[in-house]
Amino acid sequence: WIPLCIIPSEKLQRAGKVLRNAILSRAPHMIRDRKYHLKTYRQCCVGTELVDWLVLQSACVLTRSHAVGMWQALLEEGVLNHVDQELGFQDKYLFYRFLDDEEEDTPLPSEEEKRESEEELPETILFLAQIGPDALLRMILRKSPGQRTGDDLEIIYDELLHIKALAHLSNTVKRELASVVIFESHAKAGTVLFNQGEEGTSWYIIQKGSVNVVIYGKGVVCTLHEGDDFGKLALVTDSPRAASIVLREDNCHFLRVDKEDFNRILRDVEANTVRLKEHEQAVLVLEKSPRTTSLGTIKYTVISGTPEKILEHFLEAMRMDIHHSEPGEQKRCINVYHLRVCPVLLKVYCSDHTYTTIRVAVAATGREVISAVADKLGTTDELVLVHLSSAGEKLILKPNDVSVFSTLNINGRLFACPREQLSSLTTLADQEGPSAGSMSTFELMSSKDLAYQMTMFDWELFSCHELLYHTFGRQSFRRTTANLDLFLRRFNQVQLWVVTEVCLCGQLIEPAAGLHTSTYFKNLNSFFAIIMGMSNPAVSRLSQTWEKLPTKFKKFYAEFESMMDPSRNHRSYRLTVTKLEPPIIPFMPLLLKDMTFTHEGNKTFIDSMVNFEKMDIFYLSYCSSLKFDELKCLLSSSAYYSQHNSANPDICQPNKNQAEVRGYVRKLCVVDNQRALTQLSYRLEPRRT
């Protein structure tokens, strides 16, 4: 087993020392001389015991495979080693030795070193938890294809789904690539990967680092970065390399597909593809599925086709299923619903702070709102529609803007006035937000009830249909994304609610408790909103307030905050999501980013046919949530209360004051002006001189 680098990084060296000292302090029996097959191995640990120990140390270690990845991060840089220098880290009865124990008579850590390591241990585990999944992936990729398990292939496949260079490939091709792709790394900048004119033998995808593309006589023509690929053209055309590739930085990692595997996959895909033609024109493209039906017949997956032929194929498949189904088997129907354009009541203010109420459609345009206001006021003046923020910023809305009410920011208001009165518009008193915290109300509610009602409200706004309207462009559907707009605004509102309450009341315990219960209901959107609220500069600077937070909640917060790590395409968050059973409410900004990535990386039409596989990716990845069962959730909540509060029957009624909690959650009062929040923060804890 060859380490990725000659000299371990300083940070990983320290992490190894902290873990070794912690083990010697908490479980010294784990590091000792061991005998196996008449041979003695000095000062070593067992792989399974190391995994057991790490899983027990922190909730941020999600699974045993996650712990394996964390130990692998140390092993691949030589901070931890297999005693025979042969294997990657495995959760088995295999012997591993810390770097500090490689030399004989290594002194035991002093009491001072043990104390320092105990203090650093939580932070060290968080660091390893973040880099562990990448190390696990590299370990799997360094196995020969024949040694990879089904779980290994799923981990590689999941990684390939998020590489932009592969976005245009079908899922079948990505699964084939998962079984043959190989990890390759180079330590030094300036290393030449291949030269112009050489025979093409491999296709490369950059996993980490960057390379320069060099052409004779022209020098560096471009630079490629993480997610880019190169070398495929020479394989497709069977021609010499068109340029040289030179490493631009140290420690670059690549995914490599060799020519033989590349050509085999192309042949297999073509052999398993069926094209139905009419008048010499393809109208339906099917791919043979590795799975068969219950009757043993071959199944086909739709890749692309005209809308009519895709529908014909599905209706025929359904007819065959019904024909061969068992008597009494429940039949399913497909219902197509047409959404109503519901009217809403809308307050529109005048320059003198009086207001009028109008009733318009959710998708009403700015022109329709202005017309309704003018009719209500009985004026013939030419009015403009203005969005006035709490900070006094004015935005004139265009006549063609749709769903204008849902585009307002949290404390924003709609004004209608003649253009000459624009300069005299001033904010309303209630736009400033609350002047006192709601702690007295908050203390009467349990964090569990609060999280439950937040989840119910968020679920009402969360609509998969509107995600598609947003991604493809709502003008294509002539639909509104009003609920999605409100859902995104809700994220900001919860975030600012945390900041407002902390700055007005000077307490962090309630938001921290809200974090824990948001995860219980799998509401990741509110979860991240609370974390970002606690990370707001107006809150993070409150050192005295943070000191009052119990150690348990500080630990929770540190573990939860690590989930926000954006590195490796938010791998930490994605790993957490894979462990959750639906229904969940996802982190919406990242979900929209993923949908846009899929949309822009895959054509909607291929040769005038609908790219059905693209639509299938949307369904499987983003729109397959189960219906949120209120009763099930409420029963879970009751069970939780009974389990944790059996000594107090009054607390075992989670919906005792649900109406009050529901009203509070749906009308959160916040200060949405960052300058005002900063001033409140300095009033709570003045700047130290």
Q: Do you know the residue count of the chain? A: 689
What does the pLDDT read at residue 320?
A: 59
The rounded Cα 568 to chain-centroid distance in angstroms is 11
H-helix or E-strand containing 248?
A: none
pLDDT score, position 293: 56
What's the pLDDT at 628?
47
Place of tokens 């241990």: 121
Which amino acid, one-letter code, is at 42?
Answer: R
- Which residues lie below 8 Å from residue 663, measured CB to CB, with a gap of 6+? none
> Is the torsion defined by CA of 142, 145, 148, 153 positive or negative?
positive
Report, as ranges of residue numbers, the positions in the chain whose pLDDT lies below 50.
324-341, 625-654, 656
Say which CATH architecture domain 343-432 belongs to.
Answer: Roll (3.10)
pLDDT value for 407: 84
CA distance 21 to 120: 11
Q: Taking a C-beta distance cutoff of 8 angstroms, is the pair 411, 672 a contact?
A: yes
CATH 2.60.120.10 fits 153-266, yes or no: yes
pLDDT digits (tens, 9 = 90+) for 355-389: 999 999 888 889 999 999 999 999 888 999 999 99
Determine the pLDDT at residue 637: 46
* pLDDT at res. 506: 78
Gyration radius of the chain over CA positions: 30
User: Cis link prior to 8 (omega < 30° from 0)?
Assistant: no
Identify the residue whose tokens are 């880019």. Answer: 228
C-alpha 578/C-alpha 437 separation (Å) is 37
**∠505-536-394 over CA atoms, to 5°?**
95
Strands of 187-231 (E only): list them.
192-194, 202-208, 211-215, 219-224, 229-230
Treating both helix axes as pointing N-terminal to C-terminal, what angle do 111-141 and 567-578 enclose, rounded to 10 degrees?
Answer: 90
| Lookup result for tokens 């880290």 | 89
Amino acid (one-letter) located at 679: Q
3-state percent breakdown (helix, strand, coil) of the chain, nearest 5 = 50, 20, 35
Domain chopping of the chain, boundaries: 10-135, 153-266, 273-324, 343-432, 439-682
Q: 20-74: per-residue pLDDT in tens? A: 999 999 999 999 999 888 888 999 999 999 999 999 998 788 789 999 999 999 9
Residue 431 CA: distances (Å) to CA of 390, 651, 680? 5, 36, 16
pLDDT confidence of residue 513: 60
Strand order in the sheet with 355-361: 355-361, 343-349, 413-418, 383-388, 394-396
Taking the C-alpha atoms of residue 106 and residue 214, their distance in angstroms, rounded to an integer, is 50
pLDDT at 621: 64
Measured in degrees and rounded to the nearest 5, phi and psi for residue 193 equal -75, -45
Topology annotation, domain 10-135:
Arc Repressor Mutant, subunit A (1.10.10)
CATH architecture group of domain 439-682: Orthogonal Bundle (1.10)
* Chain Cα centroid distance, residue 671: 28
Contact assessment for residue 83 and residue 40, using Cβ atoms and an 8 Å cutoff: no
Helix (H, G, I), strand (E, B) or coil at 548: coil
Q: 10-135 with 153-266: one CATH topology? A: no
Q: φ and ψ at 213, to 5 degrees? A: -100, 115
